[in-house]
Structure 1
Amino acid sequence: MTLLAVGFVLLSAVLHATWNLLAKRAQGDASFTWLYDVLALLIFFPAVFVFILFSHASFSAWAFVFIIVSGLLELAYFLLLQRGYRVGDLSLVYPLARGTGPLLTTVVAILVLREHPTPLALFGTGCVVGGVLLIAWRPQRLSERRSRLAVLYGILTGCCIAGYTLWDKEALSIGHLAPLILYYGTICVHVPVLTPFALHHWREVRFHWRVHRLEALGIAVLSAFSYVLVLTALVFTPVSYIAPAREISVLFGTLLGTRLLAEGETRRRLVAAGIIVVGILALAL
């Protein structure tokens, strides 16, 4: 990767881990997701309007297909992530979600695309698997229903990450969508899908605005910048480099969860996060 791509990915990782800390603190549901999506829609509308006005962007039918599918995948990601944070620790759910993405991408590449990874890549895959298992595996905790649910939501979130990362790369290369437009388009998909739920649970929306408005504003801004940085890096960098490298956020997320939220099991989770990072670096080489 170029130094510019590395810089984009590292900055994105810090922003990503930070907004996940805010999401964990809020412990919201779909109504909270709707709230920060609406805020993102309003905050970034001027930038999108100016971009379209001066770039004279045109959109094909395929562009709308890419946006809709990406929006649905990312919506599933946000909802599953919020559910995971309601039942599990940040330092458990976040590494599982972010660590399984590169692993699933590698498995798909081997089984579906018939790729032949190098021994170093296989070593990296093994490290990711080992780190994920080390984070999740503790028999006395996994006997608790909430812990099992947290693991399940973390893995399902990782599936969504793998799906939208591969799909968004195609949207950028085949659909010729600008990163800002692709991101904003996905938000335009989220809001109408979630609006009926939000209207039906308006009391929860008002509660989150009253109690967690700063978290919602932070997520709206940080998640946007985080993913636009990744999309921009994907424009000039192969997805097989970006997808593993951005999971360095696992380390930041685990540090935030164990240090700021005092979630416990610090040593084991930091060791596991470090193993995942080693695996991710091996996959990227």
Structure 2
Amino acid sequence: MQPGTVEIVLVAAVAHAIWNLASKYKRGDTLLFVWAYTGTSALLCVPLCVTPVITGQQVLDWPLALGAAVSAVLHIAYSLILQVGYDRAELGVVYPVARGTGPLLTMLFAVLLLGERLTALAMLGAFLIIAGILVVTGNPFRRARHHPLQGVLWGAATGATIAGYTLWDSYSLTSLHLAPVSYYTGTLLLQGVLLTPSALRRGHQIPSTIRTNATPILIVAVLSPLAYILVLSAMQVAPVALVAPLRESSIVIGSLLACMLFHEGHLARRIAGAAVVLIGIIAVGL
């Protein structure tokens, strides 16, 4: 992977970590919060789509509609499975398993289905990144108070949806030749449309939710599409089997920031995991 591409994904990882931290300050209804920042992101991205359409880089045709529609469905499936997993199992088990299996499955299917070929050093680097992520998040079984297997299954199901939308992103960009901004804007618009009926049923809470969460909504609305579009741009020139684990370095960045901002523990373990991830990133870059 070219160094410039590595830098693009790492910038995306930082943006992803920051907007995830901003979402921790969210208050009130989760669905309305997601609906609000998704709609705001879509409004911010729509003007950016005008240029690719005018210049002919992106045509408003059925491949764009298909790509965005499948992406929106996969993202909503990811959100629903993740939330159900959090309801039925422990977050401390579901989260690390999901973030570990997601890039691992993406790598596997990218090699088997998309025919990507990776050097031994790149493969080693990708596995080191995944291993470092698991070190940072900690042993999920140690924290599980009961039924850890259930959490593993829900985490694996979530990881499968992560792999699903990541592979579809790669296919949409490299095979359907969709422009990243147009593709992601279409995804956001469709997600917003699908979420709107549920949001309107909570209509009386909308003003207070927006008023209370104005700052985190704006931060997420700006940084979330920025992070995603940067990753999509990297997928146009680099194997998705390497982009997938590299983008997950956002977990390490977010975890270290959480230690400083929220005084979470296990700093030494998180630093050790971050060092392993850094070695993996260097190997991928080489």
Same fold (TM over 0.5): yes
| Residue aligning to 2:73 | 72
Contact 1:22 1:215 in 2 (8 A): yes
- Cα distance in 2 for partners of 1:43, 1:106 equals 32
- Cα distance in 2 for partners of 1:83, 1:221 equals 27
User: Secondary structure of 1:72's match?
Assistant: helix
- Cα distance in 1 for partners of 2:205, 2:49 equals 29
| Residue aligning to 2:206 | 205
CA drift at 1:275: 3.7
Q: Is residue 139 of structure 2 the alignment partner of residue 137 of structure 1?
A: yes
> Where do 1:1-285 residues align within 5 Å?
1-26=1-26, 29-55=30-56, 57-78=58-79, 88=91, 96-109=97-110, 123=124, 127=128, 130-131=131-132, 134=135, 135-137=137-139, 139=141, 141-143=143-145, 155-276=156-277, 278-279=279-280, 282=283
CA drift at 1:20: 0.9
- Cα distance in 1 for partners of 2:236, 2:175 equals 11
| Unpaired segments ≥5 residues, structure 2 | none
CA drift at 1:72: 1.6
- Cα distance in 2 for partners of 1:179, 1:230 equals 9
User: Secondary structure of 1:175's match?
Assistant: coil
TM-align CA RMSD:
3.4
Q: What is the aligned-residue identity percentage?
A: 38
Larger mean Cα displacement after TM superposition, 116-125 or 248-257 = 116-125
- Cα distance in 1 for partners of 2:57, 2:231 equals 24
CA drift at 1:114: 8.4
- Cα distance in 1 for partners of 2:218, 2:244 equals 26
Larger mean Cα displacement after TM superposition, 80-89 or 104-113 = 80-89
- Cα distance change, pair 123–238 in 1 and its aligned pair in 2 (3 A): closer
CA drift at 1:174: 1.4
- Cα distance in 1 for partners of 2:202, 2:35 equals 11
- Cα distance change, pair 43–79 in 1 and its aligned pair in 2 (3 A): farther
Paired residues, number: 282
Q: TM-score, normalised by structure 1?
A: 0.80
- Cα distance change, pair 198–172 in 1 and its aligned pair in 2 (3 A): same
Q: In structure 2, what residue type is equivalent to 1:240?
A: A
- Cα distance in 2 for partners of 1:203, 1:136 equals 41
- Cα distance in 1 for partners of 2:58, 2:118 equals 38
- Cα distance change, pair 140–237 in 1 and its aligned pair in 2 (3 A): closer
- Cα distance in 2 for partners of 1:154, 1:208 equals 29
CA drift at 1:52: 2.0
Larger mean Cα displacement after TM superposition, 201-210 or 75-84 = 75-84
- Cα distance in 2 for partners of 1:153, 1:205 equals 31
| Unpaired segments ≥5 residues, structure 1 | none
CA drift at 1:137: 2.2
